[in-house]
Chains A and B, each alone.
Chain A
């Protein structure tokens, strides 16, 4: 051996060894000192899982504290997939087959495929439990628990779901909840599964920030549940757990309990709501299957009643027929059911017609035309009489339709403004409509519409409920714009005298919602103050959740909904009294269009109002009534509007219904609303109402 060379080679090996160790140190330092933060984040996301716990929603109460929407505990059978994952696929299948068979034998038809699908559901994190059966009964629960050893991974859980103590009462108002969809989630800054990137978790409102949304959360889908979501939604809690490589939980790192949402107190009076709903249903049923004088069937596919406090805009009742039982929405609505609820042949029960339905107001519009005539100075004490010959000839007309008749063709003789309202002379308003159009040079082309607009016709009232329709107040300008936008759909872009004439009696293209009509009559009733209709009075949270939420000493006020003035309609006292006199005459004077209804039996106080009978081509008339009371010198406290399409004259259907509803209101003798446990009593009530309402006779004339 060449010893010197070997020494050098040994030294070389030593240097190699040294440099390898230096490399290890450098790399170790790089990882632990320089790159640490990046890997620390990776370490945390490796092992920490956040389990999100939704807080129970707040309750919905009526103005007196009756709970319209509450929570109840539901028993859910869920799959805990962790123990199942450890089994062989064959063993798992056997368990699923056994489970499906057992459940089917317990009266819950279940397919193996369904269980397998739940097991494979990717929307749930591996640690999360997948609900298999919702709302099972106690017997099934006990049966399954006793056989727990046969079904590894089967767990029985409890969760809060909505319950409706009064059944379908105010169903459209309270709305319903459902699982949040991807659009709703994205709009609230939630993390949409499968989305490529999550841009930010900040959301537009501060409330949403403290109540973040996650996949499969519950959200209000309609009605108050939707529009007051920010109050009703509970504050979610979370549990951060540490898991090992297999996904098994090692420990709970931190826990933030969920908090219940706040309670929303509606302005609705449950008893009044109940009365309105029952009588509306009774009336609609009594009208149906008859034929009117022109041979049109009275289908009455739907109907609405709105009762409002004219002094502050609070809605006291809002009934829409047909209705539905909101408890069917718990645990999700099937497609089949959804279609039924939206089927026009069923009257679209999910629709809140009081808010979403638009109808020609007919003669109830005459209040606004009369106001416009006085406002413009066309009608003055010196010039307020017109001789109603039963028809009206347009001045200077020599082409097209020049003559317009009273509905029913009655000759009403000499009428002034109050009488024109009381007897519902159309000719009187044709005269105004023609004159205001002729004077467009001085008054502008919307002299007729301007007054109605001040009362809110053709505009959304701004009530805090979703899907409100705006209605329509046609003007020469809107006609031009519509035509320009879509020339094929419209005959002309011109506005003729005849259009003014039809608009003046609430026909033609005028459309209102029942809520809008109530709100506009409230504006008149209180002397000209236009309030935004309120659906809720307050938001509270209970000091002690275990105690009655209506108990006054148990309530912490979160928010109070104050009356909101949207505008003022200016009147002189003389102008106001002229209209008031006419409207009182409708129910009180011998020639009033609704007098028969109010004379049927005494009420505690008199009301003013106006009937309306809107003609719809090819269909029976829309029956309309709007009124308010008391009109005994004290400020009116109730405005009511009723619209029932394809039901006949306003004086025959809507007016008597208004009387039937307002009589117990005026006498303070409302039948208490029925809870679902009191079905028998309610059915008896309903039968009595149907008998009562069917016996009502109307005025027998249009207008």
Chain B
């Protein structure tokens, strides 16, 4: 897009010129893009299948595809900028995300399903928590990546960076997102050189903090119920039971597109967003839903690979942060539909219907691509 000139130059110039090799556009991770494309394809079909019987059924897929287009644009834009320049702006990025997170708690924000986590912008809804996840990854990567060694002061600094969005999302309350901050932050600390004993203390503190959150008045009963549902399989909630019925009855080959009885009947709540994996399970069976998991796994594998290839610690940290975020989203989201994780409302990246999460996921992917593309520069 940006490089027809440099491309034409390179085709005339010697193949081994360092400048050509370093040209960012030549180092796009094609496998990563292909895997994401596959996930997007399956996801779009699932969104269509999940929403075709809804009252305004046709509009979902149109919006979904629009989100993808916007997302791809955002990814391209982010990836072409050297991630180091983005990291340099981390206080702005991070501060902006905190302002948005704080603002949503004011009357400016609106409440959906008991969580005050959205800005209503005409026909669209903006969920600042999704963008805050990427912002926090940028901030911690910049903050830890710049350090020679992570002493206690740095560690506390990083923890403060984590604590801000966690506190603000818990106030919504949005348990799922706050867990994402914790997991992504911890992943970056593990790889970012935090000493093992500090990590151990952190783990203990983490457990205490989770217990504290559960026992404080922050969580509504329904959120605790979701967590205990997971603990006692007998008292399965309606959602979990219906989700498992849908996935399981899909069998190996599935009912076929648009033919899943559970999906058609709308038995699984939120089947186009948080529970979209049930649609894949029922209509595509093990072959289709397994392929979806495999593609998502490929995405994560490629990000992990880029983390290893990065020239600098900050790039590695960006990738580890994004990887941890995606990994948690995928495992938690699919895990809850399979009944092995508690129910929390976090979307399946690149699959679930929803503009904010789609856009944020593409931005995170753009960052990773930027690390890959600018690793020689």
Residue numbers of A with Cβ under 8 A of B are 1-2, 5-7, 9-10, 12-14, 16-17, 20-21, 23-25, 27-29, 31-33, 35-36, 38-40, 42-44, 46-47, 242-246, 250
With A and B bound together, what is the CA distance between A412 and B311 in angstroms? 141
Residue B272 at the chain A interface, CB threshold 8 Å:
no
Name the residue of chain B whose CB is nearest to the CB of A48. B261
Which 8 pairs between the two chains have the least Cβ-Cβ distance? A39-B248, A244-B265, A43-B249, A31-B248, A32-B286, A1-B193, A40-B249, A27-B338
Closest-CB distance, B50 to chain A (whole angstroms): 13
Enumerate chain B residues within 8 angstroms of A38, measured Cβ to Cβ: 248
B244: Cβ under 8 A from any A Cβ: yes
- Tell me, rounded to whole Å, the shortest Cβ–Cβ distance linking A10 to chain B: 5
With the chains together, A250 CA to B289 CA distance in Å?
A: 26
Contact of A43 among B53, B262, B320 (CB under 8 A): B262
Kindly identify which residue among B190, B261, B281, B335 contacts A13, using a CB–CB cutoff of 8 Å.
B190
Q: Which B residues contact A (CB, under 8 angstroms)?
A: 53, 147-150, 187, 190-193, 241-242, 244-252, 261-262, 264-267, 281, 285-286, 289-290, 293, 297, 300-301, 304, 307-308, 313, 316, 320, 323-324, 327, 330-331, 334-335, 338-340
CB distance from B179 to the nearest CB of A (A): 14
Q: Which residues of A contact B261 (CB under 8 A)?
A: 43-44, 46-47, 242
- Partner among A2, A17, A32, A242 whose Cβ is within 8 Å of the Cβ of B304: A17
Closest to B248 in A: A39
Q: A10-B320, A33-B286, A36-B249 are in contact. Are A244 and B193 (CB under 8 A)?
A: no
Query: What residue of chain B has the Cβ atom nearest to residue A244's Cβ?
Result: B265
CA–CA, A35 and B248, complex, Å:
7
With A2-B149, A24-B334 already in contact, 4 other A-B pairs whose C-beta atoms are closer than 8 Å = A25-B293, A46-B261, A46-B262, A46-B267
Partner of B281, one of A17, A20, A28: A28
Do the beta carbons of A25 and B290 come within 8 Å of each other? yes
**Smallest Cβ-Cβ distance to B264: which chain A residue:** A250
Is there an interface contact between B340 and A42, defined as CB atoms closer than 8 Å? no
Q: B289 CB to closest chain A CB, in angstroms?
A: 6
Complex CA–CA separation, A29 to B147 (angstroms): 45
**Bound Cα distance A20, B333 (Å):** 12
Check B266 against A246 for contact (C-beta < 8 Å). Answer: yes
Query: Do A32 and B265 touch across chains, with their CB atoms under 8 A apart?
Result: no
- Most chain B C-beta atoms within 10 Å of own C-beta, residue among A2, A5, A32, A250: A32
Instruction: Write the nearest CB–CB distance from A240 to chain B, whole angstroms.
Output: 13
Q: Once the chains are docked, how many angstroms separate the CA of A544 from the CA of B149? A: 97
Determine the distance from Cα of A27 to Cα of B297 in the docked complex, in whole angstroms: 15
Give the Cβ gap from B277 to chain A, nearest Cβ, in Å.
9
- Collect the chain B residues with CB atoms within 8 Å of residue A12's CB: 190
Whether B245 and A36, one on each chain, are in contact in the complex, defined by CB atoms closer than 8 angstroms, is no
Cβ of A250: which chain B residues have Cβ within 8 Å of it?
264-265
Neighbour of A6 across the interface among B53, B252, B316, B324, CB < 8 A: B316
Q: Contact at A20–B286, with CB atoms within 8 Å?
A: no
| CB–CB A23/B191 < 8 A | no
The answer to whether A42 and B245 touch (CB under 8 A), given A14-B304, A245-B267, is: yes
Known contacts A9-B191, A24-B331, A47-B267; A1/B307 CB under 8 A: no
Query: Roughly how many angstroms separate A29 CA and B294 CA in the complex, as a whole number?
Result: 13
Cα distance A564–B39 when bound, in Å? 80
Task: Provide the bound-state CA to CA distance between A2 and B192, in Å.
Answer: 9
Contact B267 A27 (CB under 8 A): no
Interchain CA distance A36-B249 in the complex, whole Å: 5
Interface contact B250-A32, CB-CB below 8 Å: yes
Most buried by A among B148, B187, B245, B335: B245
Q: Which residues of B contact A7 (CB under 8 A)?
A: 308
Tell me, rounded to whole Å, the shortest Cβ–Cβ distance linking B203 to chain A: 14
Majority-rule SS of A interface residues:
helix
B246 to chain A, nearest CB (A): 7
Which B residues touch A6, using CB under 8 A? 191-193, 313, 316
Kindly report which residue of chain B lies nearest to residue A21, judged by CB atoms: B297
The answer to whether A28 and B307 have CB atoms under 8 Å apart is no
Find out whether the CB atom of A10 lies under 8 angstroms from the CB atom of B308: yes
- Distance A652 CA – B150 CA, assembled complex (angstroms): 126
Separation of A9 and B150 alpha carbons in the complex (Å): 15
Give chain B residues whose Cβ lies under 8 Å from the Cβ of A44: 261
Chain A residues, CB < 8 A from B331: 20-21, 23-24
Q: Would you call B149 and A17 a contact (CB within 8 A)?
A: no
8 pairs, CB–CB < 8 Å, chain A vs chain B = A13-B190, A13-B191, A13-B320, A17-B297, A17-B304, A25-B290, A32-B281, A246-B266
Distance to closest chain A CB from B325 (angstroms): 12
Beta-carbon nearest neighbor of A12 in chain B: B190
- Assess whether A17 is in contact with B267, with CB atoms less than 8 Å apart: no
In the complex, the answer to whether A1 meets B340 with C-beta atoms within 8 Å is no
- Determine if B265 and A28 form an interchain contact, defined as CB atoms under 8 angstroms apart: no
> In the complex, A178 Cα to B249 Cα: how many Å?
43
Closest Cβ–Cβ distance, residue A265 to chain B (whole Å): 49
Among A10, A12, A35, A38, the most chain B Cβ lie within 10 Å of the Cβ of A10
Q: Contact check, B262 vs A47: say whether CB atoms are below 8 A apart.
A: yes
Task: Enumerate chain A residues within 8 angstroms of B289, measured Cβ to Cβ.
Answer: 28, 32
Bound together, the chains give a CA A242 to CA B327 distance in angstroms of 38
Contacting pair B307 A10 (CB below 8 A): yes
CB distance from B253 to the nearest CB of A (A): 10
CB of B293 within 8 A of CB of A21, answer yes
The answer on a CB contact under 8 Å between A24 and B190 is: no
How many angstroms from the CA of A5 to the CA of B251 in the assembled complex? 44
Q: How far is the CA of A148 from the CA of B193 in the complex (A)?
A: 75
CB-CB under 8 A from A13, the residues of chain B are 187, 190-191, 304, 320, 323-324
Query: CB distance B286 to A243 under 8 Å?
Result: no
Q: Name the B residues within 8 Å of A29 (CB-CB).
A: 286, 290
Residue of B nearest to A41 (CB): B249
B304: nearest chain-A partner, CB-CB: A14
Please tell me which one of the listed residues A1, A20, A28, A42 contacts residue B149 in the complex, with CB atoms under 8 A apart: A1
Bound Cα distance from A17 to B320, whole angstroms: 11
Complex Cα distance, B264 from A245, in Å, reads: 9
By a CB distance below 8 angstroms, the chain B residues around A246 are 266
Residue contact A28 to B262, C-beta cutoff 8 Å:
no
* Chain A min CB distance to B143 (Å): 13
> Smallest distance from the beta carbon of B190 to chain A beta carbons, Å?
5
B304 contact set on A, CB distance < 8 A: 10, 13-14, 17
- Cα separation A362 to B208 with both chains bound (whole Å): 100
Query: What A residues does B335 contact at CB under 8 A?
Result: 23-24, 27
Contact present for B247 and A28 (CB under 8 Å):
yes
Nearest to B335 among chain A residues (CB) is A24
Smallest CB–CB gap between B29 and chain A, Å?
Answer: 16
A127 CB to closest chain B CB, in angstroms?
13
Q: In whole angstroms, what is the CA distance A106 to B338 when docked?
A: 58
Residues of B within 8 A of A245 (CB): 265-267
Distance of A16 Cα from B301 Cα, bound (Å): 12
| Bound CA span A2–B339, Å | 39
Q: How far is the CB of A15 from chain B (nearest CB, A)?
A: 10
Chain A nearest CB: distance from B151 CB in Å? Answer: 12
Docked Cα-Cα span, A344 to B120, in Å, equals 78
Cα distance A44–B190 in the bound complex, in angstroms: 48
CB distance from A256 to the nearest CB of B (A): 21
The one of B147, B191, B252, B338 that contacts A24, using a Cβ cutoff of 8 Å: B338
Cα separation A28 to B251 with both chains bound (whole Å) = 10
Contact B265 A243 (CB under 8 A): yes
**Distance to closest chain A CB from B340 (angstroms):** 5
Of residues A6, A24, A36, which shows the largest number of chain B Cβ atoms within 10 Å of its Cβ? Answer: A24
Q: A42's closest neighbor in chain B, by CB?
A: B245
Contact call B264/A40, Cβ cutoff below 8 A: no
- A1 vs B146: C-alpha distance when bound (angstroms): 10
Query: B248, A40: Cβ atoms under 8 Å?
Result: yes
Check A1–B148 contact: CB distance below 8 A.
yes
* Cβ contact within 8 Å between A24 and B293: yes
**Nearest chain A CB to B28's CB is how many angstroms away?**
22
Q: Is the CB of B293 within 8 A of A28?
A: yes
Check A28 against B338 for contact (C-beta < 8 Å). Answer: yes
CA gap between A42 and B236 in the complex, in Å: 14
**Distance of A160 Cα from B114 Cα, bound (Å):** 52
Chain B residues near A39: list those with CB within 8 A: 244-245, 247-249
Q: Is the CB of B323 within 8 A of A46?
A: no
